[in-house]
Amino acid sequence: ICFFVRSPKGFPKLKNDTFLRAARGEETEHTPVWCMRQAGRYLPEFRETRAAQDFFATCRSPKLCCELTLQPLRRFPLDAAIIFSDILVVPQALGMEVVMVPGKGPTFTEPLKEVEDLLKLRQKVDVTAELGYVFQAITLTRHSLEGRVPLIGFSGAPWTLMSYMIEGGGSTTMAKAKSWLYRHPEASHRLLRLLADVVTDYLVGQVAAGAQALQLFESHAGHLGPEQFQDFALPYIRDISQAVKSKLKEEALPLVPMIIFAKDAHYALRDLARAGYEVVGLDWTIQPQEARAQTGKDVTLQGNLDPCALYAPKEKIGELVKKMLEGFGTQRYIANLGHGLYPDMNPEHVGAFVEAVHAHSRHINKH
């Protein structure tokens, strides 16, 4: 596998490119669909594979990541796979220790408390040395997919990663991380710049390894108001898309479509649509028509069914999907949920969602 890490060759021919065409704004026969966290605990086979393993040990095993990525595709006719990994592998690459605590989630043993703590971070990260296991997982999975669907790579965005590194885990207020933005703006920018540089190299490495699209998760955007988002999130989101694209060109790698998903940042949709990404992902709190009006005609939209809609009976899921497709239109659109799947969801309802997207979008396209 390692031979492919910089220049993957001989990958199987892609049979279903609907997702990539929609991302680029080309016409599609049906609306493509995939789900955030589609490789996850709602699948019994996922729980079985993961049972004996520490979470981050699983992330470091290319073979297990490949298996977990493929599981949902064996069940559902999804139009894309997303590599099984975690956004917190980036802080790990910077030298921070993160453990998965049962019932609590990811926890940093020593979060950043003072500005001086930034000195403990690696200032130069060799992504192949630190995150090569992700690249190996991507290459192995791309081969194992046998061209069935494209493979998406991803990373957390700088503000979201910074908030975890300071909070030390999840938080309802992000008060510790936000206090840095107010008290230590220069140090915050220093940290965000370091993260943006590592994320750029990491995403380019994923394409070199075989990723056919990239998603940047700004999952904690909603904790910022418009001003802080303009200062501390948006500039780095823009920089990453520009830097990734120019490095891909320099290294003669494919220019893959890029998706930005900034959860709860409706106030920034216009800016996100102009941030250099082909696709803007949406959470469930915005109307399709409103999102289209704000983002214009030059980007593809992705989203945005409320994940909790999957608790509804299957017929109701079909109705909600139809309404969503009528709102967005079937073109320049990728169907998804407005956030990830939850662990207690019924796999059959996920299947009903995927099938409803295909059936209703084909019907709308015909008529």
Q: Please give the pLDDT value at position 8.
A: 53
R_g over Cα of the chain: 19
In sequence order, what are the residues at sequence separation of 6 or more whose Cβ sits closer than 8 angstroms to the Cβ of residue 10? none
Residue 225, Cβ neighbours under 10 Å: how many? 10
Q: Please give the pLDDT value at position 63.
A: 98
Amino acid residing at 160? T
Spatial distance between the Cα atoms of 282 and 284, rounded to a whole number of angstroms: 7
Could you write out the three-class secondary structure of 276-315? CCCEEECCCCCCHHHHHHHHCCCCEEEEEECHHHHHCCHH
Q: Read out DSSP for 114-167? A: SGGGGGGS-SS--HHHHHHHHHHHHHHHHHHTTTSS-EEEEEE-HHHHHHHHHH
Structure confidence by residue, pLDDT tens digits, 262-277: 999 999 999 999 999 9
In sequence order, what are the residues at sequence separation of 6 or more whose Cβ sits closer than 8 angstroms to the Cβ of residue 349? 310, 311, 312, 314, 317
22-304+332-340 under CATH 3.40.50.1370, yes or no: no
Active-site residue numbers? 37, 41, 50, 86, 164
CA distances from 244 to 25, 160, 204, 295 (A): 20, 19, 6, 22
Residues of the chain with pLDDT under 70: 1-9
Q: State the average pLDDT for the chain.
A: 96
Sequence spans of domains, the chain:
22-304+332-340
